[in-house]
């Protein structure tokens, strides 16, 4: 029983990271398709869905899609849901901003400008009541309390010395500003070099590489690669030029994860129109609790409405090592539960829209 309880510890963060994609993910303007979308029936066939699964989908149930996990650290989950609303209505709903009510854990969010400065990330900062978190940041060491590179940890240690006689308010302000500078530097490195620019996280005796994790997550998306080879290559090799008609956005989030403020940097590209959409999103920096995450969303016409397909891959050190099989099983179940609840909320909200 203790083993099961220990394995469950921390999993809400992995399941709930899905919601940090969902809220800002589809709040985007409409762009023309660079390539024709597959039909929903083609995707259903490619996913090898059985007749009973299709029947459940037609009946309004959320169905699970099998996604193989490529590494010991990866949690992968796919879901599909039929919504009795055409893609045009879904696009209008997504643009209305109503998705913001689905994730109450988002404290602040914003789009990153093409040429940002550290203050553009001011929505991420510690409050006076979070002074312990700010102090922990200044005391950061290699480990899983914070996701930081060795150089970032050294920079925080130098700042700590400068703040030796600072009061609590000054410490909180300085730690917040320094973290915003870290976010800016990480965004700049990723924007310039793509996955190769993502600094690894220092761990006790090892490193975690979100760059390799995201590369693996993309390489595992064979269906996406087969239908959208040009988009796939551009996504894998960012900052290569995107196909014509594809829209790109960068966001920052301040989100409560495991009752802690969490800085997240996200990159999204999309093709969308009144007849459907395909959206890719990756969290290339996450402040703690998990390492990286990637989501692929397809919204396609089906019967008298639409099918939404989701493929979500999250990488976390917490499911690796001893008991990995049990940890993965629990993690997938909790991720599925969280994703299903959010899809059901989405359906209810769209029906009343």
d(CA 22, CA 297): 10
Q: Are 110 and 123 in contact (CB under 8 A)?
A: yes
| 288 confidence band (pLDDT: 50, 70, 90) | very high
- Please indicate, yes or no, if residue 132 is contained in any of the structural domains: no
Distances (CA, A) of 297 to 14, 21, 103, 271: 18, 11, 18, 11
| 17 confidence band (pLDDT: 50, 70, 90) | low
Nearest to 349 by CA among 23, 13, 14, 77: 23
Helix/strand/coil for 199 = coil
Q: Are 245 and 277 in contact (CB under 8 A)?
A: no
Report the number of distinct structural domains present in the chain. Answer: 1
Rg (CA), the chain: 20
Q: Are 252 and 266 in contact (CB under 8 A)?
A: yes
Cβ-based neighbours of 300, under 8 Å, separated by 6 or more? 37, 38, 39, 40, 43, 87, 276, 306, 307, 309
**Residue 28, domain extent:** 2-121+208-351
Q: Are 108 and 121 in contact (CB under 8 A)?
A: no
252 forms bridges with which residues in the sheet? 110, 265
Nearest to 152 by CA among 144, 140, 160: 140
347 vs 97, more confident: 347
- Please indicate, yes or no, if residue 228 is contained in any of the structural domains: yes
Assess whether pLDDT exceeds 70 at residue 30: no
Q: Which pLDDT value is given to residue 25? A: 46
Assess whether pLDDT exceeds 70 at residue 127: yes
Structure tokens at 111: 């789009």
| 68 confidence band (pLDDT: 50, 70, 90) | confident
Structure tokens at 302: 């089906």
CB atoms within 10 A of CB 260: 16
Which tens digits make up the pLDDT trace of 234-252? 999 999 999 888 889 899 9
- Please indicate, yes or no, if residue 200 is contained in any of the structural domains: no
d(CA 181, CA 186): 9
- Please indicate, yes or no, if residue 157 is contained in any of the structural domains: no
Torsion-angle region of 18 (φ positive above 0: left; ψ -120 to 50: alpha; else: beta): alpha
| 32 confidence band (pLDDT: 50, 70, 90) | very low
| 162 confidence band (pLDDT: 50, 70, 90) | very high
- Please indicate, yes or no, if residue 133 is contained in any of the structural domains: no
Q: Which pLDDT value is given to residue 18? A: 52
Assess whether pLDDT exceeds 50 at residue 260: yes
Q: Which pLDDT value is given to residue 271? A: 77
pTM above 0.95, yes or no: no
Q: Which pLDDT value is given to residue 286? A: 97
Cβ-based neighbours of 251, under 8 Å, separated by 6 or more? 24, 109, 110, 111, 112, 265, 266, 268
d(CA 32, CA 27): 16
- Please indicate, yes or no, if residue 36 is contained in any of the structural domains: yes
CATH for 112: 3.30.530.20
- Please indicate, yes or no, if residue 100 is contained in any of the structural domains: yes
Assess whether pLDDT exceeds 60 at residue 1: no
Helix/strand/coil for 290 = coil
- Please indicate, yes or no, if residue 66 is contained in any of the structural domains: yes
Q: Which pLDDT value is given to residue 23? A: 43
Assess whether pLDDT exceeds 50 at residue 158: yes
In 139-167, alpha helices (H)? 150-162
């Amino acid at each position: 029983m203790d083993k099961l309880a220990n394995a469950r510890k921390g999993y809400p963060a992995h399941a709930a990271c899905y919601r940090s994609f969902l809220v800002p993910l589809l709040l985007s303007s409409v762009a023309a398709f660079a390539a024709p979308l597959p039909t929903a029936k083609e995707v259903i066939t490619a996913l090898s869905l059985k007749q009973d699964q299709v029947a459940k989908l037609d009946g309004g149930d959320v169905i699970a899609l099998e996604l193989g996990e490529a590494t010991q650290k990866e949690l992968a989950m796919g879901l599909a849901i039929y919504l009795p609303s055409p893609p045009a209505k879904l696009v209008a709903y997504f643009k209305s901003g109503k998705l913001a009510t689905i994730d109450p854990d988002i404290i602040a969010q914003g789009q990153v400008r093409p040429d940002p400065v550290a203050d553009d990330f001011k929505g991420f900062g510690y409050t006076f009541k979070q002074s312990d978190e700010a102090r922990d940041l200044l005391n950061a060491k290699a480990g899983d309390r914070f996701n930081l590179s060795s150089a970032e940890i050294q920079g925080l240690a130098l700042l700590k010395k400068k703040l030796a006689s600072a009061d609590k308010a000054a410490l909180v302000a300085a730690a917040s500003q320094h973290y915003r500078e870290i976010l800016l530097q990480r965004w700049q490195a990723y924007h310039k070099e793509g996955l190769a620019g993502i600094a690894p996280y220092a761990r006790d005796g090892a490193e975690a590489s979100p760059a390799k994790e995201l590369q693996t997550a993309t390489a595992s998306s064979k269906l996406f690669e087969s239908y959208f080879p040009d988009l796939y290559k551009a996504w894998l090799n960012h900052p290569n030029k995107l196909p014509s008609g594809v829209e790109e956005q960068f966001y920052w989030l301040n989100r409560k994860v495991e009752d802690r403020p969490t800085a997240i940097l996200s990159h999204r590209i999309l093709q969308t129109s009144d007849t459907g959409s395909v959206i890719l999103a990756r969290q290339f920096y996450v402040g703690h609790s998990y390492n990286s995450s990637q989501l692929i969303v397809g919204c396609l016409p089906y019967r008298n409405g639409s099918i939404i397909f989701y493929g979500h891959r999250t990488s976390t050190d917490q499911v690796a090592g001893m008991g990995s099989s049990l940890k993965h099983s629990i993690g997938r179940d909790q991720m599925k539960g969280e994703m299903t609840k959010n899809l059901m909320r989405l359906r209810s909200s769209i029906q009343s829209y």
